């Protein structure tokens, strides 16, 4: 047990101070403070000694240097049972500091507000993290508080122990403090890397805020939690039971596709992180029906992402099938009321989410892979028409739609479409020919229109042999889009010309593992 006799308070966030000060005053704990915190404490009516008077050293450099003084750090870092430390303190007339309450300059907030670089720099705290690290290192003797949310726990600790703190409490707060300083420095490091466009620096810091501890991971025997690099996910759960690890995985997969679609247009149905139906039909109701028609069997128990505001008519249709999650860009009140009748159905509003500056991170064996996301918007310049039979503007637009969906399907990926909707998807196969078979079988099983309508196919990478596009053409495909790069590209072009098939090459491939 360590009694608190002297506390140093220097906080950027000054809310909730009043109740804490009342407790410190009750136990006659001396308070040292500076700057705005000193003024706030005095305004609240409590006694406080200004740091400049305590150290007998004036603040300089417009407040940049005020707590950086040996009297402060000796008071925090001295080991109470060390006679040599006691001797040094007495020799220099330094006192001991038993409690450090600090939260940092709002660097993260300055980034969110997109202020000027010069202002962002001034929001880099120097003295605060230094004091916190010193107190956290000396947790055997000193308690450190880094967040106003911890004040209540500190008050309970002081009341339970008659102005003292337990080793268990100090160690817990030390652990939190080091995490806080690491997170803060990580933000600064990543800001400077971002400013210089250094995507892959020699040392990479990835940090996040805990959003929620999940019931379990992919399977019940695995533990899981979700963290956000931001302080929030920017998606809002409107209804339903707690989201699982797999739910989140599917939600992010669905949203990645949805956000690549035209604004307020399109429906995506996802199962096990793979799309099983997509449509960008401009009629919202028809968009869902067409996406569902691609593979209604796989859609059972899946996730539907509507890149638009859901209305009553669509809600009535959505409730007819079993779904785990429905994602929307807003929802009408009457539609929400209808869907809320399904107790466990999770309803997510993703209207505030954007897909800017996304990176993909994959971890294994204490290593991690990082890459930028494959989400750039396609244009006609990304493609080359290599067949004699040329697509008109609408056909080329349809080909690009198919190719866009294809890049979000696990490789090897084949996507078959008709106009603005998928009608067959083959995913995640070791062989591209197997993915062709799956996509074709899905189309034959579920696609009820006449096969003489224009059927389009997209592949996420080149066909290594002619047999892949031959199988697609035999199934009724009349236009194919694929990346170039095979040693047999010329043979594939010859086959396309021989069968009067439209063939378009992409300048980029789009594996997704």
Tens place of pLDDT per residue across the chain (513 aa): 899 999 999 999 898 899 999 999 999 999 999 888 999 999 999 999 999 999 888 888 887 888 889 999 999 999 999 999 999 999 999 999 999 999 998 888 888 877 789 888 888 889 999 999 999 999 999 999 999 999 999 999 999 999 999 999 999 999 999 999 999 999 999 999 988 989 889 998 888 899 999 999 999 999 999 998 877 788 999 999 999 999 999 999 999 999 999 999 999 999 999 999 999 999 999 999 999 999 999 999 999 999 999 999 999 999 999 999 999 999 999 999 999 999 999 999 999 888 777 788 888 888 888 888 888 889 888 999 999 999 999 999 999 999 999 999 999 999 999 999 999 999 999 999 999 999 999 999 998 765 557 899 999 999 999 999 999 999 999 999 999 999 999 999 999 999 999 999 999 888 988
Q: What count of other Cβ atoms lies within 10 Å of the Cβ of residue 393?
A: 8
Q: How many CA atoms lie within 13 A of 219 on its CB side?
A: 1
Q: What's the pLDDT score for residue 108?
A: 85
Do residues 329 and 306 lie in contact, with contact meaning Cβ atoms separated by under 8 Å?
yes
> Of 256, 127, 238, 104, nearest to 180 (Cα)?
104
**In this structure, are strands 421-426 and 414-418 parallel, antiparallel, or unpaired?**
antiparallel
Here the contacts of 232-237 (C-beta below 8 Å, separation 24 or greater) are 233/353, 234/350, 234/352, 234/353, 234/354, 235/327, 235/348, 235/349, 235/350, 235/352, 235/353, 236/348, 236/349, 236/350, 236/352, 237/346, 237/347, 237/348
Domains of the chain with CATH codes: 2-195 (3.40.50.1380), 232-349 (3.40.140.20), 380-506 (3.40.140.20)
d(CA 57, CA 51): 8
| Tokens at 493, concatenated | 């072009």
Q: Residue 451 has what pLDDT?
A: 58
pTM of the model: 0.85
Please give the pLDDT value at position 359: 83
Cross-strand bridge partners of residue 367: 364
Asked if 21 and 46 touch (Cβ cutoff 8 Å), the reply is: yes
What is the rounded CA–CA span in Å between residue 281 and residue 287?
Answer: 5
Residue 116 pLDDT: 86
The closest alpha carbon to 304, from 262, 356, 346, belongs to 346
As annotated, the active-site residues are 137, 272
Its sign, for the CA torsion 335, 337, 340, 342, is negative
Read off the DSSP letter of residue 215: S
Asked if residue 512 has a cis previous peptide bond (ω within 30° of 0), the answer is: no
């Amino acid at each position: 047990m360590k009694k608190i006799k002297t506390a140093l308070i220097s906080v950027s966030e000054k809310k909730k101070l009043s109740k804490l000060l009342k407790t410190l005053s009750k136990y006659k704990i001396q308070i040292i403070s500076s700057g705005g915190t000193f003024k706030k404490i005095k305004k609240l009516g409590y006694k406080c000694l200004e740091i400049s008077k305590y150290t007998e050293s004036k603040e300089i450099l417009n407040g940049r240097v005020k707590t950086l003084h040996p009297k402060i750090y000796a008071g925090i870092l001295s080991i109470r049972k060390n006679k040599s430390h006691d001797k040094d303190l007495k020799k220099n007339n330094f006192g001991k500091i038993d409690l450090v309450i600090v939260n940092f300059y709002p660097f993260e907030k300055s980034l969110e507000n997109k202020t000027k670089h010069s202002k962002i720099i001034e929001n880099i705290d120097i003295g605060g993290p230094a004091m916190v690290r010193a107190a956290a290192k000396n947790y055997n003797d000193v308690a450190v508080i880094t967040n106003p949310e911890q004040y209540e726990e500190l008050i309970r600790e002081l009341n339970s122990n008659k102005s003292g703190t337990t080793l268990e409490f100090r160690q817990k707060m030390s652990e939190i403090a080091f995490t806080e300083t690491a997170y803060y420095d990580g933000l600064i490091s990543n800001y400077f890397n971002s400013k210089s466009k250094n995507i892959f620096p020699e040392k990479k810091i990835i940090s996040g805020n805990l959003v929620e501890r999940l019931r379990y991971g992919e399977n019940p025997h695995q533990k899981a939690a979700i963290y956000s690099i931001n302080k929030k996910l920017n998606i809002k759960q409107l209804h339903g039971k707690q989201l699982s690890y797999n739910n989140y995985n599917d939600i992010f997969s669905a949203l990645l596709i949805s956000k690549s679609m035209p604004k307020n247009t399109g429906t995506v149905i996802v199962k096990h992180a793979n799309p099983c139906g997509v449509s960008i039909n401009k009629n919202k109701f028809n968009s869902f029906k067409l996406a569902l028609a691609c593979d209604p069997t796989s859609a059972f128990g899946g996730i539907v992402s509507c890149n638009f505001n859901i209305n009553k008519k669509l809600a009535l249709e959505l409730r007819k099938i079993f779904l785990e999650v429905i994602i929307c860009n807003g929802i009408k009140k009457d539609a929400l009321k209808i869907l809320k009748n399904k107790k466990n159905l999770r309803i997510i509003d993703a209207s505030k989410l954007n897909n800017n500056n996304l990176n993909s991170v994959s971890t294994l064996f204490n290593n991690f892979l990082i890459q930028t996301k494959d989400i750039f918007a396609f244009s006609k310049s990304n493609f080359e028409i290599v067949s004699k039979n040329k697509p008109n503007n609408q056909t080329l637009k349809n080909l690009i739609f198919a190719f866009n969906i294809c890049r979000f399907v696990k490789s090897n990926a084949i996507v078959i479409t008709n106009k603005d909707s998928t009608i067959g998807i083959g995913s995640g196969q070791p062989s591209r020919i197997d993915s062709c078979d799956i996509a074709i079988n899905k189309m034959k099983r579920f696609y009820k229109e006449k096969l003489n309508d224009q059927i389009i196919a997209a592949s996420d990478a080149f066909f290594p042999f002619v047999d892949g596009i031959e199988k697609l053409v035999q199934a009724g495909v009349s236009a194919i889009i694929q990346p170039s790069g095979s040693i047999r590209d010329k043979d594939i072009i010859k086959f396309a010309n021989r069968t009067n098939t439209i063939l378009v090459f992409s300048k980029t491939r789009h594996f997704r593992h």
